[in-house]
């Protein structure tokens, strides 16, 4: 987590007379994250989340990535996005891309690296560019079909128990199918993604 | 000193370190317990301990937090380790049961590998392959996953794929390597695969001139060759297949040895959990000097059985041969060949094969008929796009009757074969190969002693059309 994020959090605390109960945990999590105590950071962000902070969900996802749990992180990012789409920033998008990359979801990684690249600073841009190049090289047409098969199998397995993670996997399969010269199992991938997509908020027309 | 060290360790250990009292807050303590429970369920013991300790800071009397901390600090059976132990015990079904709840704990690729191995051992290759491919995406597991993917390819009878996967098993791989290998696999597994090979050959004794023969008899020559092969597998493997081949070889100087030929084969390949079986009928026809030379109806049966790292193989072929030239008609007959071999795959891209081969050639006349037999040994090594190999064989060939052409002596030959080759893959479809081959015949009729060296350079393209 960046130093500026901590400053922002501190300013918010100072400016807000009635401090929300989640804020001390958010700050404690941020400090633990910066000290690389990711277990503690995850716990504090989860507590902040339970006390009503939707921002904390994004940071919890980043902590999961740092703890070497990329699939859990991908799942947490999906859930964080569903609860508060606007709370992300370029650095969190880089973390999200890294989680996707480590989980073997290359199109997902590419999407977030691309998004982060448009907002990142000059030190990060070349690294993101290199990563995107490696992803582009890895996505050869001949390997798409077995990759799609594997993703659909995994996505279907997880659909009942971990729908948010299954959704990310199904989205990856759908994106790969769109790139496949034969549109390999595209209809199945699209149907699975649609089935696992978050339901629209109630009352919205 | 030891006591002091133990004290330091105890303080550092979150399971035994004292919990400092904090500001009482029962509500927050309850949330920390919930977070601890969730993390414990996910297998994150570190975060769970942090959460329970934080809960106890706020509510020292919390039974739930105390119980949670004790539970997370008690060494529990690790399902991944239990699965690995079951595999080591040779019980893949127990391994699958142990691994059933192991996912979602930050170690899913390792679970994929272990489950893939268990599925492979149970003969469930279709389930094993995606799991092993998933495990192969983790560089730390790529070698092991490639090894078992290679075993599956071997079980399917896809030697080329197996070879390349075993090559991978000997080293860590990067994304580019994986992509290249996957491309090759896809091409070799197409329903219609075409292969075109060109070669340049230099043969020191193209007409098998005996040692010390007059130089007026044809000696060395070179040639250029072209071979085109099409393989149709409408339903993939296992299933039926049709193979069609065409071959042309043009000598540089000895035009009378120019060769053109064609062959068509219809076969079926079966796959089992531990091996494969192939049956094939083929017809081939060759013309030398643009005159019909040899027609061959061939029945073939071959198979392999995998046990551990050993691969047992057999191949039998019966050739019903008809020589078209009048001066060679007596060579026509039935030639049967049987080879039994055993291969070892010790790792590092090395394959060692030893076997014994026999041939019974029943020609029209007894003095041209023989029974030949002898051992063979092959050693190959693959690393990256490179493959090196050497093969040696020895064969004793006693003929079945005295030969009137050699003063009534019954001919007895000892034949020596040695071949070495180097193969380099150039991307997904192209490959080049250099081969050197030695054939030596020692006969009890000195006029038949002969030595032949053959040097071949070839360039091949293989690709899936469908």
Measured CA to CA in angstroms, residue B323 lies from A198, B245, B249, B256, B296 at distances of: 75, 20, 19, 17, 9
- Name the residue among A50, A71, A142 with its Cβ closest to that of B108: A71
Architecture of domain A1-88: Alpha Horseshoe (1.25)
End-to-end Cα spacing for chain B: 74
Cβ contact, residue pair B182, A69, below 8 Å: no
Residue B95 pLDDT: 82
pLDDT of residue B183: 40
Extents of the domains making up chain A? 1-88, 141-196
Q: Provide the pLDDT confidence category of residue A9 given band limits of 50, 70 and 90.
A: low
Length of chain A: 205
Burial bucket for residue B152 (CB in 10 Å: 0-12, 13-18, 19+): buried
Do A67 and B106 make contact, defined as CB atoms within 8 angstroms? yes
- Please report the pLDDT score of residue B83 as a whole number: 80
> pLDDT per residue over A106-151, tens digit each?
899 999 988 888 776 777 777 788 888 878 877 777 778 888 988 9
- Of all residues in chain A, the percent with pLDDT exceeding 70 is 85
CB-based contact (8 Å) between A34 and chain B?
A: no
Interface test with A, best of B17, B23, B27, B31 (most A CBs within 10 A): B31
- pLDDT digits 0-9 by tens, A48-74: 999 988 889 999 999 999 888 889 999
Looking at this predicted complex, what is its ipTM? 0.80
- For chain B, the domains span 2-73, 79-187, 194-464
| Pick among A21, A26, A43, A53 to test the B interface (most B CBs inside 10 A) | A43
Per-residue confidence (pLDDT) for residue B2, from 0 to 100: 34
Least Cα separation, residue A204 to chain B (angstroms): 32
Asked if B183 reaches chain A (Cβ–Cβ under 8 Å), the answer is yes
B260/chain A closest Cα distance in angstroms: 35
Report the range of poorest mean pLDDT among A176-180, A190-194, B129-133: B129-133
Judged by a CB distance cut-off of 8 A, whether residue B51 touches chain A is: yes
Q: Is residue B12 within 8 angstroms of chain A, CB to CB?
A: no
Chain B residues touching residue A71 (CB < 8 angstroms)? 104, 106, 108
pLDDT of residue B319: 95
Q: Which of residues 113-142 of A touch B (CB under 8 A)?
A: 134, 137-140, 142
Q: What is the pLDDT of residue B5?
A: 35
- Tell me which chain B residue has its CA closest to the CA of residue A64: B106
Question: Which residue among B31, B46, B106 places its CB closest to the CB of A72?
Answer: B106
The predicted pLDDT at position B402 comes to 92
The H or E element spanning position A172 is helix A163-179
Query: Which residues of chain A are within 8 Å of residue B32 when distances are taken between CB atoms?
Result: 43, 47
What integer pLDDT is reported at residue B223 of this predicted model? 93
Write the secondary structure of chain B as one string of H (helix), E (strand) and C (coil).
CHHHHHHHHHHHCCCCCCCCCCCCCHHHHHHHHHHHHHHHHCCCHHHHHHHHHHHHHHCCCCHHHHHHHHHHHCCCCCHHHHHHHHHHCCCHHHHHHHHCCCCCCCCHHHHHHHHHHHHHHCCCHHHHHHHHHHHHCCCCCHHHHHHHHHHHHHHCCCHHHHHHHHHHHCCCCCHHHHHHHHHHHHHHCCCEEEEEEEEEEEECCCCCCCCCCCCCCCCCEEEEEEEEEEEECCCCCCEEEEEEEEEEEEECCCHHHCEEEEEEEEEEEEECCCEEEEEEEEEEEEEECCEEEEEEEEEEEEEEEEECCEEEEEEEEEEEEEECCHHHHHHCEEEEEEEEEEEEEEECCEEEEEEEEEEEEEECCHHHCEEEEEEEEEEEEEECCEEEEEEEEEEEEEECCCEHHHCCECCEEEEEEEEEEEEEEECCCEEEEEEEEEEEEEECCHHHCEEEEEEEEEEEEEEECC
Which option is the CATH number for B194-464: 1.10.10.10, 2.60.40.420, 3.40.50.720, 2.40.160.60?
Answer: 2.40.160.60
Q: Do B50 and A43 touch (CB under 8 A)?
A: yes
Are B137 and A104 in contact (CB < 8 Å)?
Answer: yes
Q: What is the pLDDT along chain B (466 residues), one digit of tens a residue?
A: 334 433 333 445 667 777 777 787 888 899 999 999 888 887 788 888 889 999 999 988 888 888 888 887 765 557 777 787 777 777 788 888 778 777 766 677 888 888 888 888 887 777 787 788 778 777 667 767 777 777 776 666 555 555 555 455 444 333 333 334 434 443 455 678 888 999 999 998 877 777 766 555 567 889 999 999 988 888 766 788 899 999 999 999 888 888 999 999 999 988 665 677 889 999 999 998 889 999 999 999 998 887 766 778 899 999 999 999 888 889 999 999 999 999 887 766 678 899 999 999 999 999 999 999 999 999 988 776 788 999 999 999 999 999 888 888 899 999 999 999 998 877 667 889 999 999 999 999 888 888 999 999 999 888 777 6
Chain A residues touching residue B54 (CB < 8 angstroms): 43, 47
pLDDT confidence tier of residue A77, bands split at 50, 70 and 90: very high
Residue A15 has pLDDT above 60, yes or no: no
Closest residue of chain B to A165, computed from CA coordinates = B104
């Amino acid at each position: 987590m960046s130093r500026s994020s901590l400053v922002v959090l501190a300013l918010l605390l100072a400016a807000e007379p009635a401090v929300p109960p989640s804020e001390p945990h958010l700050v404690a999590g941020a400090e633990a994250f910066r000290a690389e105590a990711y277990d503690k950071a995850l716990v504090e962000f989860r507590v902040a989340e339970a006390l009503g902070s939707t921002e904390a969900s994004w940071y919890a996802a980043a902590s999961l990535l740092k703890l070497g749990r990329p699939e859990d992180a991908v799942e947490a990012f999906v859930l964080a996005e569903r609860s508060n789409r606007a709370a992300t920033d370029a650095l969190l998008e880089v973390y999200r891309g890294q989680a996707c990359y480590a989980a073997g979801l290359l199109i997902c990684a590419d999407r977030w690296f691309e998004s982060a690249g448009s907002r990142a600073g000059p030190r990060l841009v070349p690294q993101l560019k290199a990563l995107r190049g490696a992803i582009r090289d890895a996505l050869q047409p001949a390997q798409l079909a077995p990759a799609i098969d594997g993703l659909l199998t995994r996505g279907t397995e997880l659909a009942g128990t971990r729908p948010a993670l299954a959704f990310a996997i199904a989205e990856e399969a759908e994106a790969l199918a769109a790139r496949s010269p034969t549109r390999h199992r595209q209809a199945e991938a699209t149907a699975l993604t649609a089935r696992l997509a978050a339901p629209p908020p109630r009352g919205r027309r | 000193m030891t006591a002091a060290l133990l004290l330091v360790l105890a303080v550092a250990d979150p399971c035994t370190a004292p919990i400092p009292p904090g500001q009482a807050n029962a509500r927050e303590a309850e949330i920390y317990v919930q977070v601890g429970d969730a993390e414990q369920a996910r297998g994150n013991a570190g975060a769970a301990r942090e959460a329970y300790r934080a809960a106890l800071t706020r509510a020292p009397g919390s039974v739930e937090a105390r119980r949670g901390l004790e539970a997370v600090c008690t060494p529990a059976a690790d399902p991944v380790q239990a699965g690995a132990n079951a595999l080591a015990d040779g019980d893949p079904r127990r391994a699958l049961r142990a691994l059933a709840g192991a996912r979602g704990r930050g170690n899913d690729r390792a679970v994929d590998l272990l489950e893939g191995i268990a599925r492979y051992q149970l003969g469930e290759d279709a389930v094993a392959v995606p799991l092993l491919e998933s495990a192969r995406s983790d560089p730390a597991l790529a070698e092991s996953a490639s090894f078992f993917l290679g075993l599956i390819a071997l079980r399917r009878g896809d030697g080329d794929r197996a070879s390349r996967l075993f090559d991978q098993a000997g080293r860590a791989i990067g994304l580019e390597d994986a992509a290249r290998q996957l491309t090759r696999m896809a091409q070799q597994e197409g329903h219609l695969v075409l292969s075109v090979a060109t070669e340049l050959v230099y043969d020191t004794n193209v007409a098998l001139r005996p040692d010390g023969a007059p130089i007026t008899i044809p000696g060395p020559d070179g040639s250029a060759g072209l071979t085109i092969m099409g393989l149709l597998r409408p339903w993939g493997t296992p299933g039926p297949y049709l193979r069609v081949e065409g071959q042309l070889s043009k000598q540089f100087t000895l035009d009378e040895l120019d060769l053109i030929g064609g062959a068509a084969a219809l076969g079926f390949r079966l796959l089992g959990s531990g091996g494969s079986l192939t049956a094939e009928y083929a017809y081939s026809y060759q013309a030398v000097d643009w005159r019909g030379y040899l027609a061959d109806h061939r029945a073939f049966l071959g198979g392999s059985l995998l046990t551990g790292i050993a691969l047992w193989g057999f191949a039998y072929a019966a050739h019903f041969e008809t020589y078209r030239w009048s001066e060679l008609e007596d060579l026509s007959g039935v030639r049967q060949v049987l080879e039994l071999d055993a291969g070892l795959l010790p790792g590092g891209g090395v394959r060692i094969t030893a076997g014994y081969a026999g041939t019974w050639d029943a020609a029209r006349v007894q003095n041209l008929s023989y029974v030949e037999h002898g051992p063979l040994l092959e050693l190959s090594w693959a690393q990256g796009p490179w493959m090196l190999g050497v093969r040696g064989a020895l064969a004793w060939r006693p003929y079945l009757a005295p030969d009137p052409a050699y003063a009534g002596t019954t001919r007895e030959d000892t034949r020596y074969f040695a071949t070495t080759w180097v193969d380099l893959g150039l991307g997904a479809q192209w490959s080049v190969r250099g081969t050197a081959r030695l054939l030596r015949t020692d006969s009890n009729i000195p006029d038949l002693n002969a030595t032949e060296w053959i040097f071949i350079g070839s360039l091949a393209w293989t690709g899936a059309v469908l």
